[in-house]
């Protein structure tokens, strides 16, 4: 029988968390530990690395070796950990601002290198911790404290960005589709190489209140009604795609993984394969 | 007999770091430090180490901090503009107590400045180029051989104090070639990575300091489940908003270096026994200063020299002692005047301090410094 509690994965003395009532971050955090359980990763051999922002506080709640880095810098730190000790499983927790704004360069180069990290982007489309400023993933015309008339900055599609940059595994899910989200993360963990999973989460406090969705349940209903499985999305006529978005596996490809590629460098330098 | 090798300062830096146990280099190419990265790219894999060229200087700093937390001794190298970019994570390393050595082969600035020309313009950046206040260790070698030794020392200090250490080189030394005889690794004293002394069952706290005020956070992957953060944290490693914890934490960061200051402040004294005047110098400039002082002695001038290897923490005691003894001190620097103010502060008014500044991309000639020494006698 599958154990239904996941308490051992959390630092009980660090809880309760500091996230706002109705926040979706806890759902994604639990999906990560469910994926860890599903993939049977050892807690001693798994490192959780986060940047700065609401989502990035998750590292402190999780009972692994955990690292709360500087803003946007989770991927370089994680790259160092993985390359220094390739035996470790390294999971990166990041937010939309953390990953695609200040950390944008690290994000695309992490994907390009194809180092074996699992990056979970908690996308609440806003800067939550600083109180609701626009992020590079805030949808057009949506309001933020720094976009009081609606955002005119075109948002990133982080999944397309990850794929174009060379990620080996790209998927998207939402805080509403919990089991699906868990599966996407688990598949990302099992994929050798740079895995990127965008998890859409509700932020009723900083985003919802400004954009006529102050009730977290309404935000989750929006996810339920707007998300379309990738296979169905691909067959959907263009006119029916308005206000909808695809979820599921976007892309999967086997490239040579970076730490493995470097093993060959070491072998060559030590005279192994001249 | 050990082999003599014609080695460049930058190459000696890389060799010293590897001899001290560095097995991970991450960075971004920048003149005039590039040969350090190139040497590491060539030599690290043959000792089972890793080199990674990152997308920018910030990534270069982040990747070495990650590798350090995973148990490797680490190095990154840059020049002034790259050093500025690294500063956020230098502050992070100081706060999270992560051992790391950052080499800054200085060039003329500000901004992109004069990329291939020598300068000592980052003396203050090495000390204060950070957010918040934390202490800094910075070493400035003056020969190729000493660059090797300083690299070993820098790695040892980073590991011993769990702190960022700056190897503050200049282009003169970085690109200087000298015949050197490097010691065997077995002859070196290498400070090992600190390890937890208690088990989790015995109540291990990763950030609880030992008697030397330095804690022993466990390497990642060793089963301790530690939390590392750049937020002010208590002994558990978790953030604390407490004024008491914050004050004690920042105080400890400073004191762990301060209590070892005498041990880590290295300098040479030349011709000081009967000196009436002194020259205080460091890095590549000290080579020219030494020649000028030697020539001054030949002319019968009673001039001595203090050559600083440790720039930070500053050598207050020796400067104070020197100022007590001489009529004036000359500080030749390849900048608009930086260390001169520290010498002045340490001298506490005991003698006048005269700056000889040069910032036109050229190095000093012995004659320039000798002339300045001679004029000291007329002025003071």
Nearest-Cα distance to chain B for A14, in Å, is 9
User: What percent of chain B clears pLDDT 90, i.e. is strictly above it?
Assistant: 98
Contacting residues of A for B88, CB less than 8 Å apart? 70
Task: Indicate the residue of B56, B66, B221 with minimum beta-carbon distance to A77.
Answer: B66
A106 lies within 8 A of chain B by CB? yes
CB-based contact A73 B62, cutoff 8 Å: yes
CB-based contact B221 A47, cutoff 8 Å: yes
- In angstroms, rounded to a whole number, what is the distance separating the alpha carbons of residues B194 and B216? 6
A60 lies within 8 A of chain B by CB? yes
Contacting residues of A for B217, CB less than 8 Å apart? none
- Averaged over B355-365, what is the pLDDT? 97
Contacting residues of A for B234, CB less than 8 Å apart? none
Residue B237 has pLDDT above 90, yes or no: yes
Residue in B332, B359, B300 with CA at minimum distance from that of residue B142: B332
- Averaged over B86-113, what is the pLDDT? 97
pTM for this predicted structure: 0.97
Token pair listed for B329: 């001190």
- Averaged over B128-134, what is the pLDDT? 92
pLDDT for residue A2 = 56
| Residues of chain A under the 70 pLDDT cut | 1-4, 273-274
CB neighbours of B340 closer than 8 A, spacing ≥ 6? B331, B333, B353, B355, B357
What digits encode the pLDDT tens for the residues A222-256?
999 999 999 999 999 999 999 999 999 999 999 99
Q: Report the sign of the C-alpha dihedral through residues B165, B170, B174, B178, in that order.
A: negative
Task: Indicate the residue of A45, A75, A269 with minimum beta-carbon distance to B46.
Answer: A269
Confidence of residue B3 (pLDDT cuts 50, 70, 90): confident
Nearest-Cα distance to chain B for A50, in Å, is 10
ipTM: 0.97
pLDDT, chain A, mean? 96
What digits encode the pLDDT tens for the residues A187-204?
999 999 999 999 999 999
Task: Indicate the residue of A44, A78, A270 with minimum beta-carbon distance to B66.
Answer: A78
CB-based contact A65 B59, cutoff 8 Å: no
Residues 127-146 of A with CB under 8 A from B: none
pLDDT for residue A4 = 64
Task: Indicate the residue of B92, B227, B230 with minimum beta-carbon distance to A60.
Answer: B227
CB neighbours of B321 closer than 8 A, spacing ≥ 6? none
Q: Is residue A158 a contact partner of residue A123, using CB atoms and an 8 Å limit?
A: yes
What digits encode the pLDDT tens for the residues B323-350?
999 999 999 999 999 999 999 999 999 9
**Alpha carbon distance, N-terminus to C-terminus of chain B:** 50
pLDDT for residue B175 = 98
What digits encode the pLDDT tens for the residues A63-88?
999 999 999 999 999 999 999 999 99
Nearest-Cα distance to chain B for A246, in Å, is 31
Task: Indicate the residue of B23, B42, B65 with minimum beta-carbon distance to A77.
Answer: B65
CB-based contact B70 A105, cutoff 8 Å: no
pLDDT for residue A21 = 96
What digits encode the pLDDT tens for the residues B140-176?
999 999 999 999 999 999 999 999 999 999 999 999 9
Residue in B40, B8, B10, B42 with CA at minimum distance from that of residue B26: B40
CB-based contact B221 A49, cutoff 8 Å: no
Beta bridge pairs of residue A133: A127
């Amino acid at each position: 029988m599958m154990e239904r509690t996941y308490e051992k994965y959390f630092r009980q003395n660090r809880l309760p968390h500091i996230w706002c009532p109705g926040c979706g971050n806890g759902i994604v955090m639990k999906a990560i530990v469910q994926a860890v359980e599903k993939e049977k990763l050892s807690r001693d051999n798994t490192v959780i690395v986060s940047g700065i922002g609401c989502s990035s506080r998750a590292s402190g709640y999780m009972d692994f070796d955990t690292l709360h880095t500087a803003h946007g810098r989770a991927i370089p730190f994680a790259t160092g950990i993985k390359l220094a000790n390739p035996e470790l499983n390294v999971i990166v927790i990041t937010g939309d601002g953390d990953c695609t704004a200040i950390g944008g360069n690290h994000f695309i180069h992490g994907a390009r290198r194809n180092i074996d990290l699992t990056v979970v982007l908690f996308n609440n489309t806003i800067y939550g911790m600083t109180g609701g400023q626009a992020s590079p993933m805030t949808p057009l015309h949506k309001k933020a404290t720094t976009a009081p008339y609606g955002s005119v900055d075109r948002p990133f599609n982080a999944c397309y960005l990850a794929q174009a940059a060379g990620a080996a595994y790209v998927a998207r899910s939402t805080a509403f589709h919990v089991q699906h989200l868990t599966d996407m993360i688990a598949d990302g963990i099992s994929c050798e190489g740079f895995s990127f999973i965008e998890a859409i989460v509700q932020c009723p406090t900083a985003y919802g209140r400004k954009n006529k969705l102050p009730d977290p349940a309404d935000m989750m209903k929006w996810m339920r009604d707007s998300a379309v499985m990738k296979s169905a999305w691909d067959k959907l006529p263009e006119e029916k795609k308005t206000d909808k978005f695809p979820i599921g596996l976007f892309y999967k490809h086997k490239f040579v993984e970076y730490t493995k590629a470097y093993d060959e460098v070491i072998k060559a330098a030590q005279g192994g394969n001249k | 007999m050990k082999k003599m090798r014609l080695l460049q300062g930058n190459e000696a830096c890389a060799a010293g770091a590897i001899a001290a146990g560095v097995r991970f280099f991450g960075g971004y190419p920048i003149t005039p430090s590039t040969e350090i990265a190139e040497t590491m790219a060539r030599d690290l894999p043959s000792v089972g180490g890793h080199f990674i060229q990152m997308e920018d200087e910030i990534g270069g700093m982040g990747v070495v901090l990650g590798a350090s937390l995973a148990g490797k001794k680490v190095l990154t190298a840059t020049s002034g503009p790259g050093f500025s970019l690294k500063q956020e994570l230098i502050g992070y390393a100081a706060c999270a107590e992560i051992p790391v050595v950052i080499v800054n082969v200085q060039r003329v600035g500000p901004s992109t400045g004069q990329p291939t020309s020598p300068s000592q313009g980052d003396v203050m950046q090495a000390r204060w180029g950070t957010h918040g206040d934390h202490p800094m260790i910075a070493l400035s070698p003056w020969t190729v051989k000493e660059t090797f030794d300083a690299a070993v020392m820098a790695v040892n200090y980073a590991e011993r104090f769990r702190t960022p250490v700056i190897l503050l080189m200049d282009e003169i030394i970085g690109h200087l070639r000298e015949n050197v005889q490097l010691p065997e690794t077995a002859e070196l004293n290498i400070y090992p990575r600190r390890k937890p002394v208690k088990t989790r069952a015995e109540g291990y706290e990763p950030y609880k300091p030992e008697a030397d005020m330095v804690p022993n956070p466990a390497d990642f992957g060793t089963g301790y489940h530690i939390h590392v953060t750049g937020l002010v944290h208590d002994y558990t490693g978790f953030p604390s908003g407490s004024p008491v914890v914050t004050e004690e934490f920042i105080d400890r960061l400073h004191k762990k270096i301060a209590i070892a200051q005498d041990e880590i402040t290295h300098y040479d004294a030349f011709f000081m026994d009967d000196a009436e005047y002194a020259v205080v110098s460091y890095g590549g400039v000290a080579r020219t200063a030494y020649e000028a002082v030697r020539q001054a002695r030949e002319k019968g001038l009673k001039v001595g020299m203090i050559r600083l290897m440790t720039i930070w923490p500053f050598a207050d005691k020796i400067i104070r002692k020197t100022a007590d003894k001489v009529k004036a001190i000359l500080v030749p620097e390849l900048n608009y005047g930086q260390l001169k103010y520290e010498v002045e502060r340490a001298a506490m008014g005991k003698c006048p301090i005269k700056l000889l500044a040069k910032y036109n991309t050229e190095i000093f000639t012995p004659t320039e410094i000798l002339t300045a020494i001679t004029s000291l006698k007329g002025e003071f």
